[in-house]
Structure 1
């Protein structure tokens, strides 16, 4: 491989409930690697059940980074992840070990792999307040149509019902004078920062994957998901990221007395299945993915052999 001085990095992605945690620990133990979590929700302290955080027992003695370290009141973004994960990778590399980055947040993995550097565009409180006032007066469709005119690509990535993202997309367009494509192009380095190998773990039987997702929701409920979701609901104004997470927001109607527990659980299972579908779509669009069958008993051996051949 070219660039032998670059840190060696293994990335393992895949849809929710496909077994990434168990496989990553097995691989790390065989390769002497340390694991970096690439999950947008597992960073939060105290939110262990709904985010499917790896437990101390599941870690199997393997060092894990970027898990359970941030207060839920603190927002967390792809820019934060890329900066912190890169620091972890370079520290692991300096100690002569492999970094194994594991998670289902495709944006995090692709941004890290590409070496994307997000420009820290200052938030314009005056502009944001103006856009919020316009949203109230003119409605979401008017602002969405303006975004379509200014930046069609950004509009494709934003649902008009998601007012927070709609306002932010317009704010960036107006304040920078650039489109999303222009900002993305400016954020990429001339060459990728790592010698990397990207795996995606999945169950090729979609129905079986969905059954795994449904079973995991039931297990989470037995482990205290509802109590954790209630805490997020009670602090929803102070937990800006967690309050939007799949696994918590589906139970808000139950806590508000607007839906039954059974209906909310069904909604969670459906939302999780849809999320898995989006995750698979994301990974299919990434270059150089090595696909792994979650049901293959030799999956760990095959992955480890591939790493030893290429890295």
Structure 2
């Protein structure tokens, strides 16, 4: 286990020094084991979990998001899970507003609020705040869809790199959802998305620490990703996507259906991929997501606990005890 680095958050004032911190954060890439770790932390410290995950907000998307089971959700109070229909978008600004309210309510009950997830933009927005961004513009979005059909998303990624290199650097050339939103913001506001996302450190919530489930061995994480995707397929993931398609009001352009795994499954059903093709492409996309998450995570001020040791949950509990002592 790596030793905790100095907390990026300022210490409490002397008058409040006797009060134990009531906010802790746990982040990590997909498949790193956040669910088991968060449940252990919640049981040990009488915590309620606030999900920091842009996919878990959607109802009916359970298998492909590796959503905690009904038993796990019942064992510990969870917030911001199953709060949106897949046809409804959910923004970082909405998350900040919702999470801030939930944290205050948990703290008012005298319990520890535990932020848990892998959507690093949500963490950054919650800690640093977000400048108000332009609302979605259907006309601009439709125009970008047409351009992508003609030129391809890599070409639009190259265009984004010219006007917003910081955002482009953290996006894959085929990350259509995020490329589209970044170009939409730039064309609507005349300012790059990265300027809106800068925030001001210390402007938002201040957890006692940001604990990181961050594997030092990438092969360890890749193996877990493959095992979990296989388990999803065996649990009926394709049937889940078929049921979503059968509703008739969902389409591949929605944020919910662009989630990793769902995007590949939808395309597999459209194109008639073999199960082996879906498995290969789904695992590859999940690995790319994990790489992006780790890039974000390693740029954030944090305390770090590596999770490729023999007892990652035990390591996390010990680090949390030291922080909350």
Structures share fold, TM-score greater than 0.5: yes
Residue number in structure 2 paired with 1:71: 85
Q: Which of 275, 279, 302 is the equivalent residue of 1:265?
A: 279
- How many positions carry a matched residue from both structures? 308
Partner residue, 2:196 = 183
State which of 282, 285, 310 in structure 1 corresponds to 2:296.
Answer: 282
Query: Which runs of no fewer than 5 residues in structure 1 stay unpaired?
Result: none
- Asked if the contact 1:21/1:54 (under 8 Å) is kept, the reply is yes
What does residue 76 of structure 2 align with? 62
**Aligned pair 1:213/2:213, yes or no?**
no
Counterparts of 1:270 and 1:137, CA distance in 2:
25
Task: Find the aligned partners of 1:264 and 1:84 in 2 and give their Cα distance.
Answer: 35
Q: Distance in 2 between matches of 1:93 and 1:225?
A: 37
Report the alpha carbon displacement of residue 144 of structure 1 after superposing the two structures with TM: 5.8
Alignment correspondent of 1:225: 237
Change (3 A) 1:15 1:152: closer
SS at match of 1:11: strand
- Pick which of 147-156 and 135-144 moved more: 135-144
Tell me what 1:241 maps to: 255
Residue in 1 that maps onto 2:323: 310
1:177, distance to aligned residue in structure 2 (A): 3.5
SS in 1 for 2:24: strand
Which of 17, 28, 47 is the equivalent residue of 2:61?
47
For 1:302 and 1:6, locate their aligned partners in 2 and report how far apart those are by CA, in whole Å: 21
Asked if the contact 2:92–2:122 (Cα under 8 Å) also holds between the matched residues in 1, the reply is: yes
Q: What is the RMSD computed on CA atoms of the aligned residues?
A: 3.1
Q: 5+ residue gaps in structure 2?
A: 1-10
SS of the aligned residue for 1:85 comes to helix
3-state secondary structure, aligned to 1:40: coil
Asked if 2 retains the 8 angstrom alpha-carbon contact of 1:232 and 1:242, the reply is: no
Per-residue deviation, residues 52-91 of structure 1 (Å, max 9, x unmatched): 1101223462111111221111111222212111111111
Residues 135 and 22 (structure 1 numbering): CA distance in 2 closer, same or farther, change over 3 Å?
closer
TM-score relative to the length of structure 1: 0.84
Distance in 2 between the 1:8 and 1:220 partners?
A: 35
Distance 2:165 2:134 in 1: 20
SS in 1 for 2:208: strand
The answer to whether residue 117 in structure 2 is matched with residue 107 in structure 1 is: no
Q: 1:76 to 1:181 in 2, by over 3 A?
A: closer
Matching of residue 2 in structure 1 with residue 2 in structure 2: no
- Map residues 250-261 of structure 1 onto 2, 5 A cutoff: 250-261=264-275
